[in-house]
C-alpha cells in the first residue's frame, strides 16, 4: 500500500514536471509586444532575418522554454559554462555576441516568447500578398501611342499633297476643255525655277494651315511637359560621401529598412541612421573596406585599439535625395504603421539599387492616384473602430458629440 501510494505521487509529480518542460510559455502577448519592440527589434524580426535570425521559426522549433529564458537573460553565462546548445548557436552565427538582458525578469521573457509565437502563427495564417505590390507611378503615354501619332501626321501630310495634285490636275483639265489654256503655253518649255515647288507649297492654304496646326500642337505639348516636370526630380541620384550598397544590405542580406531608418515606424521622418547603427556590424565585418574606414574616421574610431576619440569625430554630410515642398505634410508613421505600406511603394525597389535614387515623381497627382488605389485596412485600427461606432450612432438617429469624433485629442488643438 505504501509503495502504491508512493508510486502514484511520483508519477503525478513526474507528469507535471514533463508538462512544465515541454509546454510553451504562457504569457501576456500584449506586454511581450511592447518589450519586443523596445529590446529586440534592433537585431531581430519575427519573420525576417536582420542582424540575427528570424525569431518566429526559431522559437517554434525550440520547445524548451526554460532554456530560452536563460539564453535571452544571459547567453554569455551559458556560453562560458560550455552549454552544448549555447555553444552550437554561438558558433553557428560566427561567434557574434548577443546582448544580455539581465534586467528582464522570467515573466518578461515569457511574455516576449508568447508574443513572438502568436505573431508568427498569425503571419503564417494570413493570406500571402505579392512581393511587389502595384506601384502607383504615374506613367506617360506608351511608345506605341507616340509612334502612332507621328504616323498619322505623316499619312495626313501625304494625303494633303496627293489631293492637291489631283485638284490641280482636274483644274487644268477643266480649263483645257473650256478652251482657256493656250496651246503655245502648253508647248512652251518653262524656265527652270528651283524654288517653284516651294512657292507652290507656300501658296497652298490648306497645307500652310496644317503645318501651323501641327506646330501649335507640338509646341503646346512640349510646353506642357516642361511645366509639368518643373521641380520633379525623378531619377535624381547625387554622389554620397560613402557608397552604401542597398542591394547588398536590403537585397542580399535582407536587412529590414526600419533597422536603419527606425523613425519611419514611429515618427514623421524616416531619419538618417546614426553611425553607431553601422558599427553594430562593421566593428567586425569588412573592416578592411575603404568605405568602412570612412565611418571609422567620422567616429574617431581606431580599429586597432577599438577605442573612440571624440575630438576627431565629425558628422557625415549625406546628400538628401527625396524632397517635398514646405507646404506639404507627410508623416511616415501614418503610412508605415497605420496603412502598413512597404517602403518600396514610394521609394521603389531599393533592394536592387546599388545607390539610391528618386524612383517616384512625388507629385500631387501621383499621391492622389495612390490614395485612390489603396484600400483601407480597418482591422485592428482603433481610429476606424471609433468611426464605425460613430456611424452606427448616426444611423440610429442618436446625437454625436465632438468628443466622440476625437475632439478631446491633444492633436486637435495642439498641432
Asked if the model's pLDDT at residue 3 lies above 60, the reply is no
Give the model's confidence band at 132: pLDDT under 50 very low, under 70 low, under 90 confident, else very high. Answer: very low
What's the confidence (pLDDT) of residue 250? 92
What's the confidence (pLDDT) of residue 192? 60
Gap between the Cα atoms of 352 and 239, Å rounded: 18
Give the model's confidence band at 362: pLDDT under 50 very low, under 70 low, under 90 confident, else very high. Answer: very high
| Region of poorest pLDDT, from 126-140, 182-196, 300-314 | 126-140
What's the confidence (pLDDT) of residue 108? 86
Total-model pTM? 0.51
Give the model's confidence band at 139: pLDDT under 50 very low, under 70 low, under 90 confident, else very high. Answer: low
Give the model's confidence band at 291: pLDDT under 50 very low, under 70 low, under 90 confident, else very high. Answer: very high
What are the C-alpha distances in Å from 25 to residues 41, 78, 125?
20, 20, 20
Asked if the model's pLDDT at residue 84 lies above 50, the reply is yes
Q: By percentage, how much of the chain surpasses pLDDT 70?
A: 83
Interval 185-215: pLDDT, tens: 455 555 566 677 777 778 778 778 888 888 8
What's the confidence (pLDDT) of residue 294? 95
Asked if the model's pLDDT at residue 184 lies above 50, the reply is no
Mean pLDDT of the chain: 81
Asked if the model's pLDDT at residue 67 lies above 80, the reply is yes
What's the confidence (pLDDT) of residue 121? 85
Average pLDDT over residues 334-360: 91
Asked if the model's pLDDT at residue 18 lies above 50, the reply is no
Average pLDDT over residues 242-269: 91
Bigger pLDDT: 139 vs 155: 155
Asked if the model's pLDDT at residue 12 lies above 60, the reply is no
Asked if the model's pLDDT at residue 138 lies above 70, the reply is no
Amino acid at each position: 500500500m505504501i509503495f502504491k501510494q508512493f508510486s502514484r505521487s511520483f508519477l503525478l509529480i513526474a507528469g507535471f514536471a514533463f508538462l512544465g518542460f515541454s509546454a510553451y510559455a504562457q504569457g501576456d502577448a500584449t506586454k511581450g509586444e511592447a518589450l519586443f519592440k523596445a529590446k529586440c527589434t534592433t537585431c531581430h524580426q519575427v519573420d525576417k532575418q536582420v542582424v540575427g535570425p528570424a525569431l518566429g521559426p526559431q522559437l517554434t522549433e525550440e520547445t524548451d522554454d526554460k532554456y530560452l529564458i536563460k539564453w535571452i537573460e544571459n547567453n554569455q553565462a551559458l556560453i562560458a559554462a560550455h552549454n552544448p546548445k549555447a555553444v552550437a548557436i554561438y558558433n553557428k552565427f560566427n561567434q557574434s555576441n548577443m546582448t544580455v538582458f539581465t534586467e528582464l525578469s522570467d515573466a518578461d521573457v515569457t511574455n516576449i516568447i508568447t508574443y513572438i509565437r502568436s505573431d508568427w502563427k498569425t503571419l503564417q495564417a494570413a493570406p500571402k500578398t505579392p512581393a511587389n505590390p502595384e506601384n502607383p507611378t504615374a506613367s506617360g503615354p506608351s511608345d506605341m501611342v507616340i509612334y502612332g501619332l507621328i504616323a498619322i501626321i505623316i499619312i495626313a501630310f501625304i494625303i494633303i499633297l496627293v489631293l492637291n495634285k489631283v485638284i490641280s490636275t482636274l483644274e487644268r483639265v477643266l480649263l483645257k476643255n473650256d478652251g482657256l489654256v493656250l496651246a503655245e503655253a502648253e508647248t512652251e518649255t518653262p524656265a527652270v525655277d528651283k524654288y517653284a515647288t516651294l512657292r507652290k507649297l507656300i501658296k497652298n492654304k490648306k497645307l500652310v494651315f496644317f503645318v501651323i496646326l501641327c506646330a501649335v500642337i507640338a509646341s503646346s505639348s512640349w510646353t506642357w511637359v516642361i511645366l509639368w516636370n518643373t521641380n520633379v526630380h525623378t531619377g535624381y541620384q547625387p554622389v554620397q560621401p560613402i557608397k552604401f550598397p542597398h542591394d547588398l544590405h536590403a537585397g542580399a542580406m535582407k536587412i529590414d529598412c526600419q533597422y536603419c531608418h527606425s523613425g519611419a515606424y514611429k515618427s514623421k521622418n524616416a531619419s538618417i541612421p546614426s553611425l553607431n547603427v553601422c558599427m553594430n556590424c562593421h566593428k567586425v565585418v569588412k573592416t578592411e573596406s575603404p568605405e568602412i574606414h570612412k565611418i571609422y574616421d567620422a567616429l574617431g574610431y581606431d580599429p586597432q585599439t577599438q577605442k573612440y576619440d571624440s575630438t576627431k569625430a565629425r558628422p557625415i554630410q549625406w546628400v538628401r535625395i527625396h524632397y517635398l515642398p514646405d507646404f506639404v505634410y507627410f508623416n511616415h508613421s501614418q503610412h508605415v504603421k497605420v496603412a502598413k505600406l512597404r517602403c518600396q511603394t514610394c521609394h521603389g525597389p531599393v533592394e536592387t539599387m546599388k545607390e539610391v535614387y528618386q524612383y517616384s515623381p512625388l507629385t500631387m497627382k501621383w499621391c492622389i492616384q495612390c490614395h485612390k488605389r489603396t484600400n483601407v485596412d480597418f482591422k485592428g485600427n482603433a481610429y476606424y473602430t471609433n468611426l464605425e461606432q460613430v456611424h452606427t450612432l448616426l444611423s440610429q438617429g442618436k446625437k454625436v458629440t465632438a468628443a466622440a469624433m476625437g475632439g478631446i485629442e491633444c492633436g486637435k488643438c495642439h498641432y
